[in-house]
Amino acid sequence: MKERVEAALNKIRPSLQADGGDVELVEVTEDNVVKVRLQGACGSCPMALLTLKNGVERVVKEEIPEIKEVVSVN
């Protein structure tokens, strides 16, 4: 599962990197919750929650429908 999530994150990673940020996969829990860490400009951006939900979570769920949620951790 972790490899599939990483592949999905790689699809959105160029957009994040273009804005000076990135995303790191921290964990995929047993109940299919993906934990990520937003890095660089994304970590301190006021729009980070929007990026997480409308960008990262949307792409991951499109690629892997069994994922329930994507959450950010520090």
Dump pLDDT digits (tens) for 18-72.
999 999 999 999 999 999 999 999 888 888 999 999 999 999 999 999 999 999 9
pTM of the model: 0.92
Beta carbons of 70 and 34 less than 8 angstroms apart: yes
Confidence of residue 74 (pLDDT cuts 50, 70, 90): confident
Give the largest CA-CA distance in the chain.
32
Please choose, from the candidates 21, 62, 47, 3, the residue with its C-alpha nearest in 3D space to the C-alpha of residue 70.
62
d(CA 55, CA 18): 14
CATH of the domain at 32: 3.30.300.130
Beta carbons of 55 and 12 less than 8 angstroms apart: yes
Please choose, from the candidates 20, 28, 67, 26, the residue with its C-alpha nearest in 3D space to the C-alpha of residue 48.
20
Look up the domain containing 56 and give its range. 2-72
Looking at the structure of the chain, the number of domains it has is 1
